[in-house]
Amino acid sequence: MMDSSCFRSLSKFTTFAISLLLFLSCFSFTTTEAYDALDPNGNITIKWDVISWTPDGYVAVVTMFNFQQYRHIQAPGWTLGWTWAKKEVIWSMVGAQTTEQGDCSRFKGNTPHCCKKDPTTVDLLPGTPYNQQIANCCKGGVINSWVQDPANAASSFQVSVGAAGTTNKTVRVPKNFTLRAPGPGYTCGPAKIVKPTQFTTPDGRRVTQAMMTWNVTCTYSQFLAQKTPTCCVSLSSFYNDTIVPCPTCTCGCQANATHPGSCVDPDAPHLASVVADHGKSNNFAPLVQCTSHMCPIRVHWHVKLNYKEYWRVKVTITNFNYRMNYTLWNLVVQHPNFDNLTQIFSFNYKPLTPYQAINDTAMLWGVKFYNDFLMQAGPFGNVQSELLFQKDNSFTFDKGWAFPQRIYFNGDNCVMPPPDSYPYLPNAGSRRDISIVALVTALLSSLAFFFARL
Ligand SMILES: *[C@@H]1O[C@H](CO)[C@@H](O)[C@H](O)[C@H]1NC(C)=O
Ligand SMILES: *[C@@H]1O[C@H](CO)[C@@H](O)[C@H](O)[C@H]1NC(C)=O
Ligand SMILES: *[C@@H]1O[C@H](CO)[C@@H](O)[C@H](O)[C@H]1NC(C)=O
Ligand SMILES: *[C@@H]1O[C@H](CO)[C@@H](O)[C@H](O)[C@H]1NC(C)=O
Ligand SMILES: *[C@@H]1O[C@H](CO)[C@@H](O)[C@H](O)[C@H]1NC(C)=O
Ligand SMILES: *[C@@H]1O[C@H](CO)[C@@H](O)[C@H](O)[C@H]1NC(C)=O
Ligand SMILES: *[C@@H]1O[C@H](CO)[C@@H](O)[C@H](O)[C@H]1NC(C)=O
Ligand SMILES: *[C@@H]1O[C@H](CO)[C@@H](O)[C@H](O)[C@H]1NC(C)=O
Ligand SMILES: *[C@@H]1O[C@H](CO)[C@@H](O)[C@H](O)[C@H]1NC(C)=O
């Protein structure tokens, strides 16, 4: 830890220069597209198990495992595409379907389910008849995250492939996998032939195995998913009246002159019809309430109370997007006091420990049927919780320590206010007296987007 008196004596410029150097030394990480320091091994693995050979091809069970700690796939769900290596066709599918059949005119009699060279597959919806289901299918493409609900972190379908190889020597693995969830963000590697999967019967008395198995690994990059941030953080405390808002124009600017109606005034008469009209204009682009930050999501961190041995924080997540209900939302928060979290109200909690020794990161998510649904913008578009921490050895209200170092909403980084604006204790020295960690973190989160676009 840097001594604060020494730190205070540095000029503002030096402080900035140091931070910039630190930032550049981390640069290799921030530009490594899909690297996420809080979930370094996070990926979605797509596994194809060839269950049997047929006269003209094979039957495979395809399973997508979401091995990401906190990133899930929400409605309207995943879309999986690939390119066949030869002239394969899909005779039939169970638990999923292709979006287009393509040109099957070369077939007489039996027509395949799909003849496209690059089929696009989607999950079936809940309520699909039982005879068209297999295990882990038919959830409308929704896949939960590994920490939130491991039992629902996979999605499967069965595909019967024709005009394909019929032995493990002649079969060709599909190429060019694409995964949309539902938008862009994932990049998939090539399919790799791996050791055939072994299956144990439910009674545990017999093990069978696939004829052949290949795996495809897909990783997420926030920069591929969207050009601008989608979430920001505001701060307040009991010891200072200042509410530090989200940075202005974090996710966009109000451009009334050039784009009238780019956001919605919540006080406008006929609000509902304004929103409905926008809904008709096609896409899933957010339609946000007019705010200075224009973000669909704001996370507010309020340092609420100070007891002798404990302190208490209130966290509020507000949805400003009229076009989105967030199901199964989650929050990842990094703060050094999470190793002594004593109680959390009305949210679920699990520590994330990507680096075994450090326990400063928490995943928070809603309680099923109570607040796991974050409603579209409006009077009900928020969820909140309180956290009770036992003060640990480094505890202080000084230097912005009580504020989080990093927050993710649904796996995407939320932009923090600049650290020199943090509310500070009355009589607590100069404005520059802030935690270097907070400074670097905020620089990282704001500059990451800037550099990503260079
Ligand atoms: C994908 O995630 C799993 C589970 O965390 C991990 O074992 C595997 O090594 C990861 N794959 C890659 C290519 O990172
Ligand atoms: C193909 O099958 C043969 C046995 O039929 C086996 O010896 C060989 O290892 C298999 N190859 C692959 C790539 O699975
Ligand atoms: C891979 O798929 C993408 C999008 O579906 C397409 O643009 C690209 O040309 C494909 N590449 C190959 C080698 O087929
Ligand atoms: C292939 O994927 C399955 C399921 O995710 C995993 O258990 C297996 O270890 C993977 N194999 C390799 C070689 O990565
Ligand atoms: C845009 O309009 C809103 C109200 O609809 C107003 O509060 C805001 O100041 C305007 N912004 C600009 C840049 O004119
Ligand atoms: C969000 O959910 C509410 C209640 O279920 C529903 O009335 C509303 O239409 C939904 N909004 C969107 C954008 O899906
Ligand atoms: C991290 O801290 C929390 C809260 O004190 C505790 O419940 C959890 O067991 C700790 N996890 C690890 C891996 O030390
Ligand atoms: C805080 O947690 C750490 C690790 O879990 C533990 O070693 C330490 O004693 C705790 N501090 C307090 C004040 O309880
Ligand atoms: C509260 O913090 C702000 C910085 O965000 C500072 O400008 C203000 O003077 C502080 N108020 C008091 C009473 O110390």
DSSP 12-75: HHHHHHHHHHHHHHTHHHHHSTT--TTSTT--EEEEEEEEEEETTEEEEEEEEEE--SS--B-T
Highest mean pLDDT among 73-77, 172-176, 180-184, 219-223: 172-176
Least confident window among 15-29, 196-210, 214-228, 433-447: 15-29
Ligand in closest contact with the CA of 242: 9
> Model pTM?
0.82
Give Cβ neighbours of residue 452 (< 8 Å, ≥ 6 apart).
30, 31, 223
Summarize pLDDT for 312-365 with one digit per residue, the tens. 999 999 999 998 999 899 999 999 999 999 999 999 999 998 888 888 999 999
Ligand in closest contact with the CA of 196: 2
Locate the ligand 2 atom nearest the alpha carbon of residue 211 and give its number: 14
Ligand 5 geometric centre to CA of 300 (Å): 23
Asked whether the beta carbons of 139 and 127 are under 8 A apart, the reply is: no
What type of residue is 50? V
Q: What pLDDT, on a 0 to 100 scale, did the predictor assign at position 25?
A: 37
Summarize pLDDT for 138-164 with one digit per residue, the tens. 999 999 999 999 999 999 999 999 999
d(CA 322, CA 16): 38
Indicate the domain borders of the chain. Answer: 44-224, 228-428
Mean residue pLDDT of the chain comes to 85
Q: What values do phi and psi take at 19, rounded to 5? A: -60, -40
Ligand in closest contact with the CA of 79: 3
Asked whether the beta carbons of 204 and 165 are under 8 A apart, the reply is: no
pLDDT at 237 over 80: yes
Ligand 9 geometric centre to CA of 164 (Å): 70
Summarize the confidence of residues 60-87 as an average pLDDT. 95
Cβ of residue 168 lying under 6 Å from some atom of ligand 2: yes
Exposure class string for 168-195: b at 16+ Cβ within 10 A, else e: eeebebbeebbbbbbeebbbbeebeeee
pLDDT at 73 over 90: yes
Asked whether the beta carbons of 419 and 433 are under 8 A apart, the reply is: no
pLDDT at 15 over 70: no
Ligand in closest contact with the CA of 418: 9
d(CA 214, CA 39): 24
Ligand 9 geometric centre to CA of 441 (Å): 21
CA distances from 174 to 49, 179, 444 (A): 13, 14, 39
What is the residue with the minimal CA distance to atom 11 of ligand 4?
Answer: 194
pLDDT at 17 over 50: no
Locate the ligand 1 atom nearest the alpha carbon of residue 43 and give its number: 1
**What residue ranges line ligand 7, CB within 6 angstroms?**
339-341, 351, 353, 359
Q: What values do phi and psi take at 100, rounded to 5? A: -135, 145
Ligand 7 geometric centre to CA of 253 (Å): 40
Rg of the Cα atoms in the chain: 25
Locate the ligand 4 atom nearest the alpha carbon of residue 47 and give its number: 2
Q: What pLDDT, on a 0 to 100 scale, did the predictor assign at position 273?
A: 67
Q: What pLDDT, on a 0 to 100 scale, did the predictor assign at position 36?
A: 84
Summarize the confidence of residues 381-387 as an average pLDDT. 96
Q: Dump the DSSP string for 434-451.
A: --HHHHHHHHHHHHHHHH
Query: The CATH number of 228-428 is which of 3.40.50.2000, 1.20.120.10, 2.60.40.290, 2.30.40.10?
Result: 2.60.40.290
Among 179, 284, 174, smallest CA distance to 224 is for 179
pLDDT at 446 over 60: no
Tokens, residue 5:
């008196």
Least confident window among 109-113, 364-368, 433-437: 433-437
Ligand 8 geometric centre to CA of 340 (Å): 6
d(CA 2, CA 11): 15
Cβ of residue 327 lying under 6 Å from some atom of ligand 6: no
Q: What pLDDT, on a 0 to 100 scale, did the predictor assign at position 425?
A: 81
Cβ of residue 190 lying under 6 Å from some atom of ligand 3: no
Summarize pLDDT for 390-407 with one digit per residue, the tens. 998 889 998 889 999 999
Least confident window among 85-89, 365-369, 444-448: 444-448
Ligand in closest contact with the CA of 311: 8
d(CA 439, CA 437): 5
d(CA 48, CA 191): 9
Asked whether the beta carbons of 262 and 254 are under 8 A apart, the reply is: yes
What is the residue with the minimal CA distance to atom 3 of ligand 2?
Answer: 168
d(CA 363, CA 370): 18
Q: What pLDDT, on a 0 to 100 scale, did the predictor assign at position 109?
A: 87
Query: The CATH number of 44-224 is which of 3.30.30.10, 2.60.40.290, 2.30.40.10, 3.40.50.1000?
Result: 2.60.40.290
Cβ of residue 194 lying under 6 Å from some atom of ligand 2: no
Q: What pLDDT, on a 0 to 100 scale, did the predictor assign at position 354?
A: 80
Summarize the confidence of residues 369-388 as an average pLDDT. 94
Ligand 7 geometric centre to CA of 339 (Å): 6
pLDDT at 441 over 70: no
Cβ of residue 325 lying under 6 Å from some atom of ligand 6: yes
Summarize pLDDT for 201-236 with one digit per residue, the tens. 999 999 999 999 999 999 999 888 888 899 999 999
Ligand 4 geometric centre to CA of 215 (Å): 6
Ligand 9 geometric centre to CA of 449 (Å): 29
Ligand in closest contact with the CA of 174: 3
Summarize the confidence of residues 244-273 as an average pLDDT. 79
**What residue ranges line ligand 5, CB within 6 angstroms?**
254, 256, 265, 290
What is the residue with the minimal CA distance to atom 13 of ligand 6?
Answer: 323
